[in-house]
Amino acid sequence: MLLLVGLAVAGLALVPLGYVLATTAELGPKEATDFLWRPRIGELLWNTVRLLVAGVVASTVLGVAGAWVVERTDVPGRGWWHGVLCAPLAVPAFVNGYGWVSTTHAVQSYGGAVMVVTLSYFPLVYLPTVAALRRLDPAVEEVATSLGRSGWSVFLRVTLPAVSPAVLGGALLVGLHLLAEYGALALLNYPTLTTAVLQQYATVFNGPEATLLALVLVSFCLLLLGIEAVLRGHRRRARVGSGTSGEPVRIPLGRYRWPVVAALTGVAVWALGVPLGALVRWLLRGSTTGIEVGELVQASATTLVLAFAGGVAATLVAVPVVWLAVRHRGLITTAIERSVYTASAMPGIVIALALVTVSIRVVQPLYQTVVVLLVGYTILFLPRAVVSVRSTFELVPPGLEDVARNLGCTGPQVARRVTLPLVLPGLTAATALVALAVATELTATLLLAPTGTDTLATQFWSQASSIAYGAAAPYALALVLLSVPSTWLLGSLSLRSGK
Amino acid sequence: MTTLRRTRRNRPAARHLVGLAALALTAPLLQSCGLFGGDKLVIYNAQHEQLIEELAPAFEEATGIEVELRHGKDLELSNQLIQEGDASDADVFLTENSPAMSQVEAEGLFDELPSSILDTIPAQYRPESGLWTGFVARSTVLVYNTDLVEESELPDSIMDLADPEWAGRLTFSPTGADFQAIVAAVLELEGEDSTRDWLEGIKENGTVADNNLVALEAVNSGQSDVGIVYHYYWERDRAEDGDLHDSSEQHYFTDQDPGAFLSISGAGVLESSDMKEEAREFVEFLVSEEGQQILADSYALEYPLNPAVELGGVKPFGELQPPQVNVSDLDAEAVVDLLTEVGFL
């Protein structure tokens, strides 16, 4: 039964891939080769690859370094810095891009693109890493230190390997985000395969050329998943008993104390100060700033409802997938889990086109209804929910459930009294993460939403792309404010020691 | 093991219940947010959202017909309409440029407009078929940075921008429907070979911007010397005292040069509409003196095509010297093929 549900989810998640393959097949092999084998595609590939590599590396370095400083050193104001390092999650990448572009044109370059996406996405590495560090029994590191290892060596040989699944999971998310990023890169005028798919879409709707490009993106996605799987390995990570509850020994920063604080401040100014400063500047000027309160409230309400519904839907769908992958590890269950990721490397627009095509032809009454929109969100953001749910499920030792069962608990009781309390933080985090993503989703929403539906993201985009920077600012600000609770929730969940 | 199996069976059921409960709870909310449509006139709108959002309330007030807008870009919505075919919810289609209208017309998806609508707009701004009509127009311009370009240097023809003297000095947005309409005009006036040469030349010379706004920004900030855009981007920025016009001016091409191309925004009623009467009323309002005056007074700064209404504050409509192009002859698909061949798409 569970397997059937899993297969159904995988089937749904593979609809976009099926659509992409079917549409691409309309092109003959010769036409396809002619289209792909052009200087233009080479240029797009090169742009995509170098952004992907630099963005993932920079986000990982920044995220891990931040997490280590906050969790393992005596930097002053640790709680505050934790908040600061989570906060960029509340600033959608396209708002960040808008803030930077309307401040300086220098960011309309490769370096600028890498910088903006890194500042937007490093929290995706930071959050799981900080959580893993917090959960890691400091005794392990203490033993290594007492055996004569230096601080660096302990970090590289003991700490880093122990938190590597979290870091890898985060890096994978960053990579997938970068493959699918549109809004920020469009504003930064940095063409990638994804922006090219959007351009194809804007000129021919769902032509085979666009899906051909999407197919290239899918192969990138598979490559990333493969790399992550190889690096993750098969080590068992769950353990019974969560170790001592003692505070870890914090490494004194000594003379590096203020340089580290300065660096953190720099990150704060770059990732938060600049975009929010630009927002405030635009709010204060420009004749288009006359705020339409009614529209703003309506768009906020729509966004909230969709974000919550999307978050819950994706999380509920993620549970059976993760359960199968973790507890019934096997070829099929792993395939089910991995299939979920294929959609995430495709731009939202491709998922949307797949659903438009399927719903026009197969389930016409659902076309342009909120149901299809929610299905779209679920497919699009399932990977996020799966990563988050999985990270907690993996930490639940199966032994605990067996023990509970041996002690006479029935299945549902085990689920309610043992498993659920242990995984609840993961489920909540998954819902928050997806809700956050739904709130800022742009391209799929534009296409799938029922006619007349305005969300904050679509309103922001429509204003920002028609010169009305001032009119765009209130929507961006509302988007940021709406994202704060989810971000705060994610931030505080990551600090729960799980003890 | 039996207990384990029971867990498995219970889970999906529980999920179902939660899902239903969530739907039951959110449905009224969704309704209030407009997530479920009703019997409103559905307009697929590729024109600037703000423009139609200023007009729609006046129409609703005048007629009592409620309007629902679905926004998108020209060719995106035209191709979507073609995909949807008879199943489309759309009643009215509005574009920024005419090629998308011609595309939908070629698929036979438009219903004929009555002469009460057609007669309001001069014949050169609508197709002979009478299946749709123009309602506003926009002029191609060359925006130039006043610190970097002398007035005497400005080219006489848009075709000159492919010359080596403009190497590294030009910005434009070949992926936008606006530029594609300009290319369609060049193609119609100069032929395929000249157009291909021209596109290759400006590709060599220029920087690609994601949209006209980015192109305008590039010119005004001095990253680029000149940019090919439509007239209203710069004019609107000046009107709202923005940041994109201080260091730049607009150069209008003259003498029926392809660069003086006037692009027509179109409106049509869909054959598949189940509210054709109301849809016609909307188009009628759009081209009426009242509707055109609303457009003229709006921030849009596009030229109304009803001769009774004059747009103030910008170069007068009568002073433009556009080339004669038959709106039905602009070929969107040929342009996309050319742009792909040259490597813009």
Residue A465 confidence (pLDDT) above 50 = yes
- Helix (H) and strand (E) counts in chain B: 12, 11
Once rounded to an integer, what is the mean pLDDT over residues A388-413? 83
Residue A273 confidence (pLDDT) above 90 = yes
pLDDT band at residue A119 under the 50/70/90 scheme: very high
Tens of pLDDT along B54-84?
899 999 999 999 999 988 888 888 888 988 8
> Residue B38: which residues within 8 A CB-CB, separation 6 or more?
B66
Q: How far apart are CA A360 and CA A369, in angstroms?
A: 11
CB atoms within 10 A of CB A399: 11
CB atoms within 10 A of CB A417: 12
Fill in the DSSP letter of residue B120.
Answer: T
Q: Please tell me the predicted confidence (pLDDT) of residue A203.
A: 76
Cα distances (angstroms) measured from residue A357 to each of A14, A361, A362, B88 = 14, 6, 8, 13
Q: Which helix (H) or strand (E) holds B144?
A: strand B133-145
Tens of pLDDT along A81-94?
999 999 998 899 99
Q: Please tell me the predicted confidence (pLDDT) of residue A241.
A: 53
Chain A residues with CB inside 8 Å of B343's CB? 38-40
Task: Look at residues B328, B326, B306, B329 and name the one whose alpha carbon lies nearest to residue B317.
Answer: B306
Once rounded to an integer, what is the mean pLDDT over residues B274-289? 95
Chain A residues with CB inside 8 Å of B73's CB? 202
pLDDT band at residue B18 under the 50/70/90 scheme: very low
Tens of pLDDT along B315-341?
999 999 999 888 888 888 889 889 988
Coil, helix or strand at residue B315: coil
The nearest alpha carbon in chain B to A303 belongs to B33
Task: Look at residues B327, B303, B298, B158 and name the one whose alpha carbon lies nearest to residue B231.
Answer: B303
Coil, helix or strand at residue B42: strand
Tens of pLDDT along A224-237?
888 888 887 766 55
Check B83 against A206: CB less than 8 A apart: yes
Residue B265 confidence (pLDDT) above 50 = yes
Q: Please tell me the predicted confidence (pLDDT) of residue A413.
A: 85
Cα distances (angstroms) measured from residue A311 to each of A321, A485, B239 = 16, 14, 42
Fill in the DSSP letter of residue A251.
Answer: B
Please check whether residue A276 is in contact with residue A346, taking contact to mean a CB–CB distance below 8 angstroms.
no
Cα of B265 vs its chain's centroid, Å: 7
pLDDT band at residue A209 under the 50/70/90 scheme: confident
> Residue B294: which residues within 8 A CB-CB, separation 6 or more?
B54, B55, B58
Q: In chain A, where are the structural domains located?
A: 2-232+257-495
Q: Which helix (H) or strand (E) holds B71?
A: strand B67-71
Chain A residues with CB inside 8 Å of B33's CB? 298, 301-302, 305, 453
Of B7, B12, B49, the CB nearest to A411: B7
Whether the CB of A449 is below 8 Å from some CB of chain B: the reply is yes
Q: How far apart are CA A268 and CA A262, in angstroms?
A: 10
Chain B residues with CB inside 8 Å of A415's CB? 7, 11
Write down the CATH superfamily of domain A2-232+257-495: MetI-like (1.10.3720.10)
Instruction: Select the residue from A5, A104, A203 to test the B interface by mutation, using most B Cβ atoms within 10 A.
Output: A203
Q: How far apart are CA B289 and CA B307, in angstroms?
A: 9
Q: Which helix (H) or strand (E) holds B137?
A: strand B133-145
> Taking the alpha carbons of A10, A11, A16, A22 in that order, is the dihedral positive or negative?
positive
Residues forming beta bridges with residue B69, ordered by sequence position: B43
Tell me how far apart the 2 most distant CA atoms of chain B are, in Å.
89
**A107-110 CB contacts, 8 Å cutoff, 24+ apart:** A107/A188, A108/A188, A108/A189, A108/A190, A108/B214, A109/A190, A110/A47, A110/A50, A110/A51, A110/A190
Burial (CB count within 10 angstroms: exposed 0-12, middle 13-18, buried 19+), residue B37: middle
Tens of pLDDT along A102-111?
888 788 889 9
Coil, helix or strand at residue A289: helix
Tell me the percentage of chain A whose pLDDT exceeds 70.
94
Please check whether residue A167 is in contact with residue A60, taking contact to mean a CB–CB distance below 8 angstroms.
yes
Q: Which two three-digit tokens encode residue A24?
A: 């691409």
Cα distances (angstroms) measured from residue B60 to each of A295, B41, B56, B63, B90 = 17, 10, 6, 5, 17
Q: Please tell me the predicted confidence (pLDDT) of residue A244.
A: 53
Question: Which of A136-150, A375-389, B8-22, B275-289 is least confident?
Answer: B8-22
Q: Please tell me the predicted confidence (pLDDT) of residue B37.
A: 46
Question: Distance, in angstroms, between A102 CA and closest chain B CA?
Answer: 9
Question: Which of A6-10, A214-218, A257-261, A361-365 is least confident?
Answer: A361-365
Tens of pLDDT along B148-193?
999 999 999 999 999 999 999 999 998 888 898 899 999 999 999 9
pLDDT band at residue A392 under the 50/70/90 scheme: confident
Q: How far apart are CA A289 and CA A277, in angstroms?
A: 16
Q: Which helix (H) or strand (E) holds B182?
A: helix B177-190
Q: Please tell me the predicted confidence (pLDDT) of residue B13.
A: 42
Q: Which two three-digit tokens encode residue A5?
A: 């549900």
Chain B residues with CB inside 8 Å of A453's CB? 33-35
Instruction: Give the number of residues written for chain B.
Output: 345
Q: Please tell me the predicted confidence (pLDDT) of residue B197.
A: 95
Average pLDDT, chain A: 86
Average pLDDT, chain B: 86
Dihedral, B284, B287, B290, B296 alpha carbons, nearest 10: 150
Instruction: Establish whether this prediction's ipTM goes over 0.85.
Output: no
Tell me the percentage of chain A whose pLDDT exceeds 90.
34
pLDDT band at residue B137 under the 50/70/90 scheme: very high
The residue whose two tokens read 């009555």 is: B114
Tell me the percentage of chain B whose pLDDT exceeds 90.
60
Q: How far apart are CA A145 and CA A91, in angstroms?
A: 39
Q: Please tell me the predicted confidence (pLDDT) of residue B16.
A: 46
Q: Please tell me the predicted confidence (pLDDT) of residue B31.
A: 44
Check B72 against A467: CB less than 8 A apart: no
Q: How far apart are CA A308 and CA A319, in angstroms?
A: 17
Helices A456-464 and A469-495 pack at an angle, to 10 degrees, of 140
pLDDT band at residue A171 under the 50/70/90 scheme: very high
Tens of pLDDT along A404-458?
888 888 888 888 888 888 888 889 989 998 998 899 898 899 888 888 888 999 9
Q: How far apart are CA A379 and CA A359, in angstroms?
A: 15
Burial (CB count within 10 angstroms: exposed 0-12, middle 13-18, buried 19+), residue B36: middle
Tens of pLDDT along B90-112?
999 999 999 899 989 999 999 99
Tens of pLDDT along A322-357?
989 888 888 888 888 888 887 776 778 889 888 988
> Residue A335: which residues within 8 A CB-CB, separation 6 or more?
A10
Residue B145 confidence (pLDDT) above 90 = yes
Task: Look at residues B5, B8, B25 and name the one whose alpha carbon lies nearest to residue B17.
Answer: B25
Whether the CB of B18 is below 8 Å from some CB of chain A: the reply is yes
Please check whether residue B255 is in contact with residue B261, taking contact to mean a CB–CB distance below 8 angstroms.
no
Interface of B with A in 324-343 (CB under 8 A): 336, 339-340, 343
Domains present along chain B, CATH in parentheses: 41-137+264-315 (3.40.190.10), 138-261+334-342 (3.40.190.10)
Q: How far apart are CA A296 and CA A53, in angstroms?
A: 38
Higher per-residue confidence, A291 vs B151: B151
Coil, helix or strand at residue B145: strand
